[in-house]
Structure 1
Amino acid sequence: MAELNHTSPRASDPERAHPFRTSWGSRALWAGLVLYLVYAVTTLDLTWARFLVGIDQGGELLGRLFPANFARWELLLSDLIESLQIAIIASVVGIAISLFVGLLAARNLMPNLVSAPMRVFIALCRTFHPVIIAILFVKAVGFGALAGILTLIVASIGFIAKLFAEAIEEISLKQVEAIRATGAGFASIILFGVLPQVFSRFIGFSMYQLDSNLRNSTMVGIVGAGGLGGTLFSAFQRFDYDFVTAILITIIALILVGEALSNTVRRVFQ
């Protein structure tokens, strides 16, 4: 009897013995996923032979990429500065706009009549890839940095405003109600009751968006929106692969500098 009373709970509890229990429904979903993957691979002509050919051609491309050619360093430097300016201007303006849009989109602070349209606006900003938005702005305002700045502002609003609104919806309303009870106005409630609770997260979101804009500023140039991307695309078209390597190294250096800057700002505000 003593041995029966000391039976292991893992053996007697079927849920603990089988932590990943399956049902016929889950098995059907997994089977459907596998069948769809097989169908997708066959319809997209993803063959092992093409993969081997790609490896061979990739080896030839790597041989032509090195050594890097920095002979046109003046062009690289001017494009690097332009990409940096595009990213910083777009980040500052986009983050400032996102601050107000995120506040208006927070459902715990605003009525549905205000928050719903703002959330639709945020969703529209997040709908399209930055390259697609860049093409539209290039057609609207022409080639150059302005199209890139407008593109990254839209991308910043789509990301920062959404996260900022969600952060506001998770705050404690006790501080807000306490400040409201003193007869403070709406601006004072936001300044002293809301922002202190989300400020550190907002800084983190902003730094991540700056990193993203640094990367995207080099990408939107491919369609004529300024920065290193246009020079990179031209070098590929000319088969100037050693100069392509120099551009890629420059982009890597830009991203590493942005990462170091972001880490420094996070440490300061933590």
Structure 2
Amino acid sequence: MRAVWLGFALYVVYASGRLNFTWDRFVTGLDRGAVFLGRMFPPEFTRWQLMAEGLLESLQIAIIASAAGILLSLPIGLLAARNLMPAVVTVPARAIIALARSFHPIIVAIIFVKAIGFGPLAGILALTLGSIGFVAKLFAEAIEEISLKQVEAVRATGASFMGVVIMAVLPQVLARFIGFSTYQLDSNLRNSTMVGIVGGGGIGGTLFSAFQRFDYDFVAAILISIIAMIMLGEVIATWLRRTFQ
């Protein structure tokens, strides 16, 4: 165990040297950070209407992307479950999930901005793709962990495939699926502010413009409003989990 910690310490020293990290740069960064924070306070809320418009657009992007991603994740996750579907079906479904999970939402948002132009539609498509990658994967894994006894019992009644899914599969995974969905909504609220920085709409664009103008007191106000929105989203997500689980 000591050898592991010693190796880790040596690697940190090596990596710091490769990254050109020096104590002088660290101290200089602290001084500049103090100046930067000093220019951010007190926050400037006089342009609250501009912030409200950006926050509302980010909220709309997050909700629409979450709804679309969750709805698409249901069939994809079901097709990816190896205990219900043959390999000829699960392999393409899992390939779609892997593709959706391969890139960060910022990278996907840049691609969509280049493809369809600036605006909230690019942000919605980017977050929808990310939602599929997360929710569909966890939904498929949840289905693979269900008890097949209920599935066989419903099949024995002569139920159709959709009947088996509705009567035997969904009741066993519904609580977990709601948890996945609420978490993804909370995640999309955070990511909706990031995709705006690259042109995907929302408050991120307003934040980036304020940084470019060196309008740091307005930046502080925007950051505080984003934190408030995320905290509110967390409260709502917690309430939804307690209500439906």
Structure 2 residue 239 is the aligned partner of structure 1 residue 260: no
1:199 to 144, 154, 174: 174
Per-residue deviation, 1:36: 3.0
Which residue does 1:188 correspond to in 2?
Answer: 163
Structure 2 residue 222 is the aligned partner of structure 1 residue 216: no
1:84 to 50, 59, 62: 59
Per-residue deviation, 1:34: 4.0
Structure 2 residue 68 is the aligned partner of structure 1 residue 93: yes
In structure 2, distance between residues paired with 1:174 and 1:191 = 15
Which residue does 1:148 correspond to in 2?
Answer: 123
Which residue does 2:41 correspond to in 1?
Answer: 66
> What SS does structure 2 have at the residue aligned with 1:262?
helix
- Quick one: which amino acid aligns to residue 87 of structure 1? A
Which residue does 2:213 correspond to in 1?
Answer: 238
In structure 2, distance between residues paired with 1:106 and 1:34 = 43
> What SS does structure 1 have at the residue aligned with 2:108?
helix
- Quick one: which amino acid aligns to residue 170 of structure 2? L
In structure 2, distance between residues paired with 1:217 and 1:188 = 37
Which residue does 2:25 correspond to in 1?
Answer: 50
User: How many residues of Structure 1 are paired with residues of Structure 2 in the alignment?
Assistant: 245
Which residue does 1:111 correspond to in 2?
Answer: 86
> What SS does structure 1 have at the residue aligned with 2:217?
helix
Give structure 1 stretches of 5+ with no counterpart: 1-21
More off after superposition, 109-118 vs 31-40 = 31-40
Which residue does 2:16 correspond to in 1?
Answer: 41
Which residue does 1:129 correspond to in 2?
Answer: 104
In structure 2, distance between residues paired with 1:39 and 1:113 = 47
Residue by residue, what CA displacement relative to the aligned partner does 1:161-204 show, whole Å, maximum 9, x if unpaired?
A: 01111111110000001001111100000001000000000000
In structure 2, distance between residues paired with 1:34 and 1:128 = 31
TM-score, with structure 1 as normaliser = 0.88
In structure 2, distance between residues paired with 1:37 and 1:101 = 42
Per-residue deviation, 1:30: 5.5
In structure 2, distance between residues paired with 1:30 and 1:78 = 50
In structure 2, distance between residues paired with 1:101 and 1:36 = 42
Per-residue deviation, 1:71: 1.2
- Highest CA radius of gyration, 1 or 2? 1
Give structure 2 stretches of 5+ with no counterpart: none
Per-residue deviation, 1:74: 1.0
Per-residue deviation, 1:37: 2.7
TM-score, with structure 2 as normaliser = 0.97
